[in-house]
Amino acid sequence: MNEKETIEAALFAAGGTLDAQTLGKIIGKPANKAVTIVETLMKEYSERGSGIEIIDLGQRYVMQVKPMLTDLVRPVAPKELSAPMLRTLAMIAYHQPVVQSDLVDMRGNTVYDHIRELINRGLIVSVPYGRTKKLQTTPLFADYFGLSSNDPEAIKQKIIELSHQQSGDKGLNKWLGYKLVAFTPMYQSLAILCGIEDYKVINAYDPTEEEIEELADVSKLVISRGYLEKVSRYYDGEIIEVSSTTFDDIIQAVEALENVGNKQKTEFTLSNLRDLKEKYVSKALLIDKKVKPATDMISRIVSDLRLGVSAEGVVIAPDYDLTSNGVQVGEGADILVPTHGSVETDLIERVCRKYDAIIDGLKALEKTSSD
């Protein structure tokens, strides 16, 4: 095969851009030689009125359908599998026949959409199995990935072989999507509280291109409540929204991660959180002063501590001046509650500081009143 045919085949197979240096390496010649060959191909494609064209993007080249024909051929063009869907397919292929409910437990509820799409594409079949279903690959799966057989054991060995070429057994677990959890920076300490060893920390609210690629390896993503719509633009896996205002918030967050955490560590953390809450409630029982929460966040803490509320009570506000709606809250408050601690701070410590600020502040005011 000559050099021109080799470069033409490379551009066709790439399905994206190839730079001159890469093309030169393929034919074993300098980059400028590859450029000359590509320019010849571009001229030939243009002169023969082909429906395919080669575009120069500044010594980066791509072979594509001409724009005027794109809409006409789109119905017959194969759609690429998204990274999360590909991992779902890999798990089905590796474990087949796999029970659908087990797959959902491992990958999250978004798997249902993946299964539906994979069935529509003919890559897997679904067979009734009691109250759920079993899933397995089809001969089209083998054709799609260039495998000689759709034999389950042969497919499994091929997956193991590919994984070992990349990063060994740990890489296999990650590639197959074994409950890899990611946390936004503020909630990293949840991983420790739940005994989760294999996890990522990703800024999912405004991710870089690299972080978006990392999100593709994640089966569950833990974010702050209220950011679901924003994060969904970058991530289509299972999203767990959590808060960290009260002990109950953290308890709910830990419970949401029970099935991916260490059982003993999770149980210890939940017991510790419930004990801490009761200790703070006991401290608050000794306080007679009524309070007036300035925001919903403060109201939740006050309610958790079972403090008395009054319109003439001690004004308690967060330590910022304005809410997101532009309402001024902090000025003139009797007690300010810390809210903007370092994101590295343990979640339990953050909650304790809020509760301590309220209880210590009320005790100080009571002492002043009695003096």
- The pLDDT tens digits for 60-110 are 888 888 877 766 765 655 566 766 777 788 888 888 888 998 888 776 677
85 Cβ partners below 8 Å, 6+ apart?
114, 117, 118
| 112 shares its domain with 161 | yes
Write out pLDDT tens, residues 230-253. 998 888 888 999 998 999 999 999
**Which of these three, 145, 175, 205, is where a domain ends?**
175
At 171 the pLDDT is: 43
Residue 278 lies in a domain: no
| 89 shares its domain with 68 | no
At 277 the pLDDT is: 93
Residue 272 lies in a domain: no
Indicate the burial class of 290 (C-beta count within 10 angstroms; 0-12, 13-18, 19 or more).
Answer: middle
Q: Check residue 108 and give left, alpha or beta (phi > 0: left; psi -120 to 50: alpha).
A: left
Single pTM value for the model: 0.54
Count the domains in the chain: 4
- Return d(Cα 177, Cα 87) in angstroms, integer: 6
| 30 shares its domain with 56 | yes
| 66 shares its domain with 90 | no
Per the structure, the complete domain to which residue 335 belongs is given by 286-370
- CATH code where residue 242 lies: 3.40.50
Residue 281 lies in a domain: no
At 12 the pLDDT is: 85
At 175 the pLDDT is: 46
| 95 shares its domain with 171 | yes
At 352 the pLDDT is: 93
Q: Is the dihedral of CA 306, 311, 316, 320 positive or negative?
A: positive
**Which of these three, 28, 50, 76, is where a domain ends?**
76
Residue 274 lies in a domain: no
| 108 shares its domain with 72 | no
| 169 shares its domain with 225 | no
Cβ–Cβ under 8 Å, residues 343 and 186: yes
Residue 277 lies in a domain: no
User: Which parts of the chain sit beneath pLDDT 50?
Assistant: 166-175, 177
Residue 201 lies in a domain: yes
Residue 165 lies in a domain: yes
Residue 91 lies in a domain: yes
Query: Mind giving me the DSSP string for 88-134?
Result: HHHHHHHH-SEEHHHHHHHH-TTHHHHHHHHHHTTSEEEEEETTEEE
**Which of these three, 46, 61, 76, is where a domain ends?**
76
Q: How far is CA 361 from CA 191, 308, 317, 364, in A?
A: 32, 15, 12, 5
| 110 shares its domain with 151 | yes
| 147 shares its domain with 205 | no
At 103 the pLDDT is: 83
At 169 the pLDDT is: 42
Residues in the chain: 371
| 72 shares its domain with 87 | no
Structure-token pair, residue 5: 């045919």
At 146 the pLDDT is: 65
Q: Which of 142, 141, 175 is nearest to 161 (CA)?
A: 175
| 134 shares its domain with 203 | no
| 236 shares its domain with 260 | yes
Three state DSSP letters for 275-317: HHHHHHHHHHCCCCCCEEECCHHHHHHHHHHCCCECCCCEEEE
- CATH code where residue 113 lies: 1.10.10.10
Q: Which of 4, 31, 17, 7 is nearest to 64 (CA)?
A: 17
At 73 the pLDDT is: 65
